Amino acid sequence: MAEDSQKTTHFGFTDVPENQKAGMVHGVFTNVASKYDIMNDVMSVGIHRIWKDAMMDWLAPRAGQRLLDVAGGTGDVSFRFLARAGDADAVVLDMTESMLVEGRKRAEASSLADRLDWVVGDAMALPFEDNSFDVYTISFGIRNVTRIADALSEAYRVLRPGGRLMVLEFSQLPNPMMQKAYDLYSFNVIPKMGKVIAGDSESYQYLVESIRQFPDQDTFAGMIRAAGFENVSYRNMTLGVAALHAGWKI
Ligand SMILES: C[S@@+](CC[C@H](N)C(=O)[O-])C[C@H]1O[C@@H](n2cnc3c(N)ncnc32)[C@H](O)[C@@H]1O
């Protein structure tokens, strides 16, 4: 047996062969794509919109910039970036085509379609040249990636010197009591909501398990530094339910 096929990783709370995880994640997002946007609003009571707006406040998009939004799904981050930057371009890359299809429908219903490209691809092997983007964003995507360090190295490679990385992701609440209350909500309510709204509790069970597996804020900041980024910092959102990490390629 080849060495690679023996390695395991986590898919939520289940150990799986490393080379099978991407296919399983792809299955989850293919299942939820048509209900993804509505489920986001319902599960977070609309708060994900505030977090994404806060991401843009910190990023302060400017005219002329080229954004790569990895694991961009239905395009939430790219739409916000373009609305704020004015004359700019964005590429939305995702490994799940059905998520991009939903995003494209949204783009066609707006005036932003001609400033957006939609690319099927893998965060761990980006199909772009070195030094080709001003900004790299990944929002609620990186915890799904099999080898996070590989995705961060790719982010570093495709950013231009002076380029900015911004990662929005679920995180850990520093207050243990609050973490417990949040766990009760997420493990008991979210899979049931998934069943009612999207007819799929398993995908949402994966979602809450994957959140608990993701490294805490300081550990993740260390991983970003290890990929080469400088001036790395983070801000907690909603008591640490999510965190926004930023870094620069100098
Ligand atoms: C929770 S959605 C986030 C979508 C969007 N960024 C947002 O904030 O609403 C996660 C996305 O990550 C994508 N994804 C997971 N692993 C990936 C990988 N290795 N490369 C590219 N996309 C990936 C999934 O297909 C899915 O669309």
Ligand 1 centroid from CA 93, angstroms:
9
Confidence of residue 1 (pLDDT cuts 50, 70, 90): very low
Q: Is residue 186 a part of any domain in this protein?
A: no
Residue 197 lies in a domain: no
Any atom of ligand 1 within 6 Å of the Cβ of 95: yes
The Cα 246–Cα 196 span in angstroms is: 36
Q: What pLDDT score was predicted for residue 221?
A: 98
Q: Is 150 annotated in some ligand binding site?
A: no
Domain containing residue 218: CATH number: 3.40.50.150
Pocket residue to mutate for ligand 1, from 10, 21, 28, 29, most atoms within 8 A of Cβ: 29
Is the pLDDT confidence value at 5 over 60? no
User: Is the confidence at residue 4, as pLDDT, over 80?
Assistant: no
The whole-chain average pLDDT of the chain stands at: 94
Is residue 194's pLDDT more than 80?
yes
Residue 150 vs residues 132, 155, 160: alpha-carbon distances, Å: 18, 9, 18
Average pLDDT over residues 20-34: 94
The reply to whether 48 falls in a domain is yes
| Residue 74 marked in a binding site | yes
In contact, 242 and 171? CB cutoff 8 Å: yes
Half-sphere exposure of 51 (CA within 13 A, CB side): 28
**Quick one: which of 129, 141, 133 has its CA closest to 96?**
141
Confidence at residue 167, expressed as pLDDT on a 0 to 100 scale: 98
Share of the chain above pLDDT 90, in %: 90
Is residue 190 one of the residues assigned to a domain? no
Q: Name beta bridge partners: 190.
A: none
How much is the pTM? 0.95
Range of the domain at 25: 2-174+205-248
Taking each helix axis as running N to C, give the angle between helix 18-32 and helix 97-108, from 0 to 180 degrees, rounded to the nearest 10. Answer: 40
Residue 96, marked binder: no
Could you tell me which residues come within 8 angstroms of residue 84 by beta carbon, excluding any fewer than 6 positions away? 56, 60, 61
What is the number of structural domains in the chain?
1
For ligand 1, whether the C-beta of 139 sits within 6 Å is yes
Q: Ligand 1: which atom is nearest the Cα of residue 75?
A: 5
179 in any annotated domain: no
In a domain, 194, yes or no: no
**Secondary structure in 3-state letters for the chain:** CCHHHHCEEEECCEEEEHHHHHHHHHHHHHHHHHHHHHHHHHHCCCHHHHHHHHHHHHHCCCCCCEEEEECCCCCHHHHHHHHHHCCCEEEEEECCHHHHHHHHHHHHCCCCHHHEEEEECECCECCCCCCCEEEEEEECCHHHCCCHHHHHHHHHHHEEEEEEEEEEEECCCCCHHHHHHHHHHHHHHHHHHHHHHHCCHHHHHHHHHHHHHCCCHHHHHHHHHHCCCEEEEEEEEHHHCEEEEEEECC
Do 145 and 77 form a contact (C-beta atoms < 8 A)?
no
Q: Which atom of ligand 1 is nearest to the CA of 33?
A: 27
CB 145 less than 6 A from any atom of ligand 1: yes
Domain-embedded: residue 135: yes
What are the tens digits of pLDDT across the range 114-169? Answer: 999 999 999 999 999 999 999 999 999 999 999 999 999 999 999 999 999 999 99
- Flag whether pLDDT at 3 surpasses 70: no
- Residue 81 resides in a domain: yes
The preferred substitution site among 96, 120, 137, 211 for testing ligand 1, maximizing ligand atoms within 8 Å of CB, is 96
